[in-house]
Amino acid sequence: MSQSSFSIPEPKPLEHLLSLEGKCAVVTGGTRGIGEEIVRRFVEAGATVVFTGRGLDALKRVEEKLTAAGGKVFGVQADSSHIEDSKKVINLAVEKFGHIDILVNNAAVFPGSTAMDMTEEIWDETFDVDTKGAFFFAKFAAEAMIAAGHGGRIINILSTAAFQIASPLIAYGAAKASLWYITQAMAQELAKYHILVNAVTPGATMTAERIAALSNGNLVEHTLGSNVSETMKKIDSALKNNDFAKMLSKITPLGRPGYPDDIANAVLFLASDMASYISGVNITVDGGQTLKNEKFDIDTDDENSTDTTAHEQSTGVLDKSLEGTYKATIKTPMGDQEVVFSFHVKDTVLTGTVSALGNSFEIENGRATVDGFAFQYIMKTPIGKAKVHVNGKLDGDKILCNLKTPMGSIPFEGIRV
């Protein structure tokens, strides 16, 4: 019997496993947030990095900052939705640095819209950047890698919206789900060229821009409009009093949000020799947010809460005039949501249902008095259960209400139907 020709190679020295010395990487959307942190990590690991962005000022800022720190970086203005731009970037990297070894498809857009509010413009914009743009960047990069004959890495940044239903992000979720299919298909097709294709899926990630927007209210005001001063105050107070961290500890098993470096570290791992035998996989970096664990419920109540919802209404019967069905359009951070309230009143007890996003939720702890009404309901979300409080007053055929969520309060009106 002949001796086997297989032998176990000597392990690579540990200090070399995360090194990207001599590698050239292309990172799309590299001027802020997760993309900028990926560029920084790659530079730190020794790579030469070509990164893209739409704004010249942002490109210059990142390039100057990392060059001053000793990095080899080159910013290129490009729009990932334009195939000619993706080809231009890959060709430029090869011409300027001789080869391309790593591509990270990070650039993305995520306009919010439900299925019924979807427009062709929103759908096309999302898929042009998040799916078509990422695919052709990967295709052109793979062609350059095959021509060089040294293998390579392609890493696509996905989203938890690709794997869990998030109706207001229907186009974004569908586009990222498509990119996951592309990731697996290209991993299979390109394996013979030693090109490894993988994905990283971030959970809720707090970038500097998002923290700033939460602090000054711009993010919420942009989505909800200007009539949200109470929400602004609550968000500002939550940030100053660390209540925001308390909320995140309830929705995230690890007790904190994700930060750009959490994602960049996973990308660096897949780009390095640490992951030399990994292809066609997705690493979810979300602190456990997508775990199906009922104990991680979103609820801002505590034993010292002074919230009057469903507990401190004065005595007296509202009578049957509140009974009926009311339809409201509520402006949320995820876009306008149509919500239907069905009320039943017996003495001071309010029961019924709340219907939103194709789901129906039972009203709990409902009270109806001469001073108004209040109730709560439990809404299931991809990252747990959220307790929502509503209180309001009847005004003819309208209900004037305030909806309290873990992120603040939202005023709305409902019309009897």
Say what the pLDDT of residue 225 is. Answer: 37
Q: Same domain for 354 and 279? A: no
Judge if 332 and 264 occupy the same domain: no
Q: What pLDDT is attached to residue 200?
A: 98
Of 293, 264, 269, 265, the residue nearest 281 (C-alpha): 269
Residues 30 and 174 both lie in one domain: yes
Q: Could you tell me if 60 and 201 lie in one domain? A: yes
Same domain, 195 and 48: yes
Residue 316 in contact with residue 322, Cβ under 8 Å? no
- Identify whether residues 139 and 62 lie together within a single domain: yes
Does any domain span residue 231? Answer: no
Q: What is the pLDDT of residue 212?
A: 55
Does 88 lie in the same domain as 30? yes
What local confidence, expressed as pLDDT, does residue 116 receive? 84
Residue 11 lies in a domain: no
The per-residue pLDDT for 403 is 87
Identify whether 302 is part of a domain: no
Note whether residue 312 is domain-resident. no
The answer to whether residue 85 sits within a structural domain is yes
CATH number, position 363: 2.40.128.120
Q: Tell me whether residue 172 is one of the annotated catalytic residues.
A: yes
Please tell me the predicted confidence (pLDDT) of residue 291.
75
Q: Where a domain ends, among 242, 266, 285?
A: 285
CATH number at residue 37: 3.40.50.720
- Has residue 5 been placed in a domain? no
277 with 382, same domain: the answer is: no
- Give every residue of the chain whose pLDDT is below 70, as ranges: 1-4, 166-167, 208-251, 292-320, 332-335, 380-385, 406-408
Question: What is the 3-state secondary structure of the chain?
Answer: CCCCCCCCCCCCCHHHHCCCCCCEEEECCCCCHHHHHHHHHHHHCCCEEEEEECCHHHHHHHHHHHHHCCCEEEEEECCCCCHHHHHHHHHHHHHHHCCCCEEEECCCCCCCECCCCCCHHHHHHHHHHHHHHHHHHHHHHHHHHHHHCCCEEEEEECCHHHCCCCCCEHHHHHHHHHHHHHHHHHHHHHHHHCEEEEEEEECCECCHHHHHHHHHCHHHHHHHCCCCHHHHHHHHHHHHCCHHHHHHHHHCCCCCCECHHHHHHHHHHHHCHHHCCCCCCEEEECCCCCCCCCCCCECCCCCCCCCCCCCCCCCCCCCHHHCEEEEEEEEECCEEEEEEEEEEEECCEEEEEEEECCEEEECEEEEEECCEEEEEEEEEECCEEEEEEEEEEEECCEEEEEEEECCEEEEEEEEEC
Residue 200: half-sphere exposure toward Cβ, Cα within 13 Å: 28
Strand-pairing partners, residue 391, are 374, 402
* Residue 219: both structure tokens together: 């993010």
Residues 278 and 329 in one domain: no
The count of domains in the chain is 2
- Taking a C-beta distance cutoff of 8 angstroms, is the pair 82, 55 a contact? no
CA distance linking residue 23 with residue 28, whole number of Å: 16
Same domain assignment for residues 269 and 393: no
pLDDT number for residue 169: 82
Close Cβ partners of 258 (under 8 Å, ≥ 6 residues apart): 202, 203, 204, 205, 206, 285, 286, 287
Q: Is residue 97 part of a domain?
A: yes
* Residues 324 and 281 grouped into a single domain: no
What is the layout of strands, in order, in the sheet containing 102-105? 72-77, 48-53, 24-27, 102-105, 152-157, 195-202, 282-285
Separation between Cα atoms, residue 341 and residue 165, nearest integer Å: 23
**Beta strands at 408-416 and 398-405: parallel, antiparallel or unpaired:** antiparallel
Residue 387 pLDDT: 81
Q: What is the pLDDT of residue 256?
A: 75
Active-site residue, from 172, 259, 326, 377: 172
Tokens of 176: 């990222």
- If asked whether residues 194 and 326 sit together in one domain, one would say no
Let me know if residue 305 belongs to a domain.
Answer: no
Which domain does 343 fall in, by range?
320-416
pLDDT at residue 186 in the model: 98
Q: How far apart are the first and last CA of the chain?
A: 85
pLDDT at 318: 52
pLDDT of amino acid 297: 44
pTM of the full structure: 0.68
Token couple for 352: 């019924």
CA pair distance 86, 77, nearest whole angstrom: 10
